[in-house]
Structure 1
Amino acid sequence: MTFKHFLILFLALGIVSCKKEIHLNKIEGKRIEINDSLSSDVDIEAYIKPYREHVNNDLDSIIAYALDTYSKRDGELNTAIGNLMADIVYEQGNAVFNKRTGKDIDFVLLNHGGIRSIISKGQITSRTAYEVMPFDNAIVVVDLKGEQVKELLDYLAEAKRAHPISKLELILDNDYNIISSKVKDNAIDFTKNYYVATNDYLYNGGDRMNFFKTNDSLYVLDYKVRNALIDYFKKVDTLNPKIDNRFIKQAN
């Protein structure tokens, strides 16, 4: 064995003999607070400034006017702001759905919790839509069987909450039992299917709306609820939604 070979063998044996198992015994972390004391990067600020100004100008451009302030707490089973949102989803969504399929949406169901802000009296901007609907929820249309529509109605009656609906009429008695249910002024036929517009969050079981899960078919419109609001605001001069009789409890 040459000296070179001996040296290589010696080093290899040394590495093997020195090999030890390493175990993680402790993890330490340090909290770094992000606040106003952190200085901004001048170059980065200068770079993003024109983009920020462009976005803010776009969001703050006036596109409509609200005659009053509207809140989701204004009514028991239906509210002006909820009615407005559901009606917008119907009007804007149906235009897309009809163009693609030649069919019409039968009715709309959204969720009360999805309304995240009031609409204040006065000027309406695109920012208003982002405040009311900050999530990227998109409109979908579900082909529901009559038995699933029955589950949907039972859900609304049991929830006793102003979940936004459009083209659907539901009347309850004082014990919250269903007296009457109609779609587009016609009594619901539970032997047929209905095209119901909602958002993808609810379709996936959000707010325990599990009746959407076993649908016959799903139509994805690639149209965010927020964008539908903005498009609607841009084409009307004035917002004046009302609480009406679409979802009520019948008086004695």
Structure 2
Amino acid sequence: MKYFVLLLTFTATLSCTSPKYAVTKIEGKKIGITESQVGKSEIENYIKPYRDKIDADLNEVLAYSPENLDKSGEWQTNIGCFLADITFEKSNPIFEKRTSKKIDICLLNHGGIRTIIPKGPVTARNAYEVMPFENSAVVIGLPSEQITEIANYIVNEKKPHPLAGLTFTIAKDNTVKDLLVQGKPLEANRTYYVVTSDYLSNGGDNMTFFKKGTSRVDLDYKLRNIIIDYFKDVDTLRVNKTIRITKE
């Protein structure tokens, strides 16, 4: 009887133990997607109303562009000036309401502009194509030394980064002179407020001067929505061709 109880206990223990499995081999096969592959009609029919609604929203004409806005230009481009100007214009009232201060400068990046705004009717789709990223507007408070650093960065980069509120001249020896903020000489020991994207505010595109900021205000306003809202507010796009950077 003693042996029977021991055997019964041992058997019960084995039967209650969960088996343990381990993956020893994984196999896969690449299946290419081609035009010959057609989705199931049930799925297509389910998606179609949503796709049609999105297409209708994106294709609605919001304004008119009197010219092609593109990225051509040595130190500034018409699309860059346009985007910097409207980002400044749309961001400033929000920043002023929250802080009782005003934005001085807008700086974006040339590489962030992904395509042109063609002459003719413009739509929300144009805004998504120009600015496909989920970047939002951020205002950084920068000491005057970093404003000079911004100008030197642009000269060294040799790229027409979108700029508003800041003008300067590139001297023959490649140094910066005649630097003005809102038409006035740079003031020492003053904080200037620069609106940019959250990506750049964190040092993206080697804009490390933003990491030296003394304050930061996230506006919770996507750059793409700034473009769309501007389109909705005007009948015809206004392109300010004021020279921001000159070279001797």
TM-score, scaled to structure 2: 0.90
CA distance in 2, matches of 1:57, 1:23: 49
Equivalent residue number for residue 49 of structure 1: 48
CA distance in 2, matches of 1:215, 1:20: 56
Instruction: Report if aligned partners of 1:78, 1:243 keep a CA contact under 8 Å in 2.
Output: no
Opposite residue 61 of structure 2, the aligned amino acid is I
CA distance in 2, matches of 1:109, 1:243: 16
CA distance in 1, matches of 2:53, 2:247: 48
2:191 equivalent to 1:193: yes
Equivalent residue number for residue 142 of structure 2: 144
State percent identity of aligned pairs: 45
Equivalent residue number for residue 224 of structure 2: 226
CA distance in 2, matches of 1:214, 1:194: 12
Opposite residue 9 of structure 1, the aligned amino acid is F
Instruction: Report if aligned partners of 1:140, 1:219 keep a CA contact under 8 Å in 2.
Output: yes
Pairwise CA distance, 1:223: 0.2
Opposite residue 6 of structure 1, the aligned amino acid is L
CA spacing shift, 1:198–1:12, aligned 2, 3 Å: same
2:58 equivalent to 1:59: yes
Secondary structure of the residue aligned to 2:217 is strand
Identify the match of residue 162 of structure 1 among 160, 163, 186.
Answer: 160
2:68 equivalent to 1:30: no
CA distance in 1, matches of 2:21, 2:233: 70
CA spacing shift, 1:23–1:128, aligned 2, 3 Å: closer
The answer for unaligned runs of 5 or more in structure 1 is: none
CA distance in 2, matches of 1:91, 1:164: 14
Opposite residue 239 of structure 2, the aligned amino acid is P
TM-score, scaled to structure 1: 0.89
Opposite residue 247 of structure 2, the aligned amino acid is K
Opposite residue 120 of structure 1, the aligned amino acid is P
Secondary structure of the residue aligned to 1:238 is coil
Pairwise CA distance, 1:219: 0.2
Opposite residue 65 of structure 1, the aligned amino acid is Y
Instruction: Report if aligned partners of 1:149, 1:190 keep a CA contact under 8 Å in 2.
Output: no
Give the length in aligned residue pairs.
Answer: 246
Pairwise CA distance, 1:21: 10
2:91 equivalent to 1:93: yes
Pairwise CA distance, 1:145: 1.2
